[in-house]
Amino acid sequence: MIHKFNTPALLIIASLLVPVAAVPQEAGFGLSSPAELQESGFMRFLLPRFSLKTGIRITLAANNPEAIISTDNGVPLMEGLGQVYYLQITEDDTPQRGKAQRFAAWLDSDIGRRAIAQFELDGVQIFAPIETLRAAEAATIFDGNAKRGEDFSFANCGRCHVVGDRNRMKGIGSTPSFSVLRSLPDWEERFSTFYARIPHPSLVQLEGVSEPFDPAFPPANQPLRLTLDQLEDILTFVSGIMPADLGAPLVEH
């Protein structure tokens, strides 16, 4: 008797894991993942969101899974519970593998990342998706020399920009200070390309990147030449500047 109840119960559990959607179900692929991702309810939360969209069923705990989430191998997927989780897709060229790759692409899309970030326990986000990781890493990858960047900036940018306390009274009033620029969300983009942004093209030459000054319009002042290494030093220095209070007035274009 008990068996009669157990089988439907199992089916119900299975259908909770991967609800049958309006999209017709295709044969799926296998996925293995660390136990805590299942015990926390994360898999039950995540997988239906993929299956609903694609109709691709995911079998957890399959033999020879096509997709493996682990804490040591593959492409970084997300961070949480004190570790980084990685996703790996097997090499075997099977139809299941193609589906697993669609899963990987979905996880790497905005929708997939959002789904990862939306999972909460007691109202607290548990996992930060890979994009967040990338951004966090990008913010610390500058491996120039901050001190050299600082000295270079005071010496060469400081006659127009307030670079820091040392030249607080020296910059040109209408020119944004480094700390104001640093507070802009795209500061990195602005500093990496500053040599191409007005008014710098007539002042600055980035070695190997800038076009030579047009002889018809020679630079007015002593041109400033800098190398990519010096630019990296500047970026390293600026990444460590305390951003200005965003409430402070910002010199706008």
* Number of residues in contact with ligand HEC under rule CB under 6 A: 19
Q: Which of 1, 8, 24, 253 binds ligand HEC (CB under 6 A)?
A: 253
Triad 66, 79, 85: Cα angle to 5°: 25
The least distance separating ligand HEC from the CB of residue 200, rounded to whole angstroms, comes to 6
- Judged by CB, which is closer to ligand HEC: 96, or 156? 156
Q: How many CB atoms lie within 10 A of CB 51?
A: 22
Q: How far is the CB of 213 from ligand HEC (least distance, A)?
A: 15
C-alpha–C-alpha distance, residues 111 and 120, integer Å: 16
Task: Rule CB under 6 A: choose which of 50, 106, 119, 194 binds ligand HEC.
Answer: 194
Determine the interface stretch with ligand HEC among 28-36, 61-69, 87-95, 173-181 (rule: CB under 6 A): 173-181
Our finding on whether 234 is near ligand HEC (CB under 6 A) is yes
Residue 197 class from Cβ within 10 Å (0-12 exposed, 13-18 middle, 19+ buried)? exposed
With CB under 6 A as the contact rule, which of the stretches 1-9, 86-94, 105-113, 196-204 interacts with ligand HEC? 196-204
- Residue 37 C-beta: closest distance to ligand HEC, Å: 42
Tokens of 68: 């493996």
Q: Which of 38, 132, 145, 175 binds ligand HEC (CB under 6 A)?
A: 175
Q: What are phi and psi of 180, to 5 degrees?
A: -70, -45
Q: Find the binding residues for ligand HEC in span 112-171 (CB under 6 A).
A: 153, 156-157, 159-161
| Backbone phi and psi for residue 4, each to the nearest 5 degrees, phi listed first | -60, -35
Between 113 and 161, whose beta carbon lies closer to ligand HEC?
Answer: 161
Contact 163, 157 (CB under 8 A): yes
Residues 143 and 195: their CA atoms lie apart, in Å, by 20
Residue 56 or 157: the one with the smaller Cβ distance to ligand HEC is 157
The torsion of the CA quartet 23, 28, 32, 37, rounded to 10 degrees, works out to 10
CA distance 178 to 171: 10
Residue number with CB closer to ligand HEC (66 or 150) = 150
Number of alpha carbons in the 13 Å side-chain half-sphere of residue 246: 3
The answer to whether 57 contacts ligand HEC (rule: CB under 6 A) is no
Binding site for ligand HEC (CB under 6 A): 153, 156-157, 159-161, 175-176, 181, 190-191, 194, 197-200, 203, 234, 253
